[in-house]
Amino acid sequence: MTTDLITLRDARSPQAEAYRSLRTNLEFFSLDHPLHSLLISSAEPDIGKSTILANLGVIYAQTGKRVVLVDGDLRRPQLHELFGLSNNVGLSSAILDPDAGLPSQETDVTGLQVITSGPLPPNPADLLASHRMDELLQQLREQTDIILLNAPPVIAVTDAAVLSTKVDGVLLVVGAGRTRREYALRAKALLDKVNARIVGAVLNNAALDTSIYGYYGQTV
């Protein structure tokens, strides 16, 4: 595992506590709007969405929940690197082979499993939109308490919009001092067009002691 997993490297840090606050806010939201599956994306690349997803997964698992992280970014996957896992098989393999089982891998965190991206396909959006993807998500719903799904940036490709229609909610990551307002608004508009349920946004890399700040509601 890499040092990006602050929830394991320094569990008492302000950053780790911010992830606990994020989890708590999501759990309160779930009381009225169940979130069994949550998509995490961003408006543009290199904002830290994969790292946020990985740390949030750790925090959920530490409460005793059965958690699976799915790397649906079939273009620039990172979960296998964050957790030090093999990426020889993964989500793309399971979609392309209907007879394949769920290629989940155990982590060092009890209750936390990861399905890496697998080999990068030439047609990611088509695979993610497939009926087979629906079947895999249904299998995961039956076996876990929460699914956290990683997706490419919303305005870069259609993948995130496609996946947003298959989950209970979408969390957008924006970078402090990085994400332009018009990009965030464009990402929201694209998700609104497919009737995605946007549960809120996470501001990443803000000032110390609020390095992750979440606002949760129906709009960003």
pLDDT surpasses 50 at 16: yes
Report the distance separating Cα 139 and Cα 149, nearest Å: 14
Residue 11 lies in a domain: no
Residue 79 lies in a domain: yes
Query: Global pTM?
Result: 0.91
pLDDT digits (tens, 9 = 90+) for 124-138: 999 999 999 999 999
157 by DSSP, 3-state: which?
Answer: coil
Report how many domains make up the chain: 1
201 by DSSP, 3-state: which?
Answer: strand
Q: If you write DSSP's letter for every residue of 181-200 in order, what string do you get?
A: HHHHHHHHHHHHHTT--EEE
Residue 7 lies in a domain: no
pLDDT surpasses 60 at 77: yes
**What CATH number should be reported for the domain holding residue 28?**
3.40.50.300
Beta strands 212-216 and 112-115, pairing class:
unpaired
Residue 12 lies in a domain: no
Residue 212: band (very low, low, confident or very high) from pLDDT cuts 50, 70, 90: very low
Residue 1 lies in a domain: no
Domain span including residue 131:
19-216
Residue 6 lies in a domain: no
The Cα-based distances of 163 to 10, 15, 114 in angstroms read 32, 28, 18
Residue 114: band (very low, low, confident or very high) from pLDDT cuts 50, 70, 90: very high
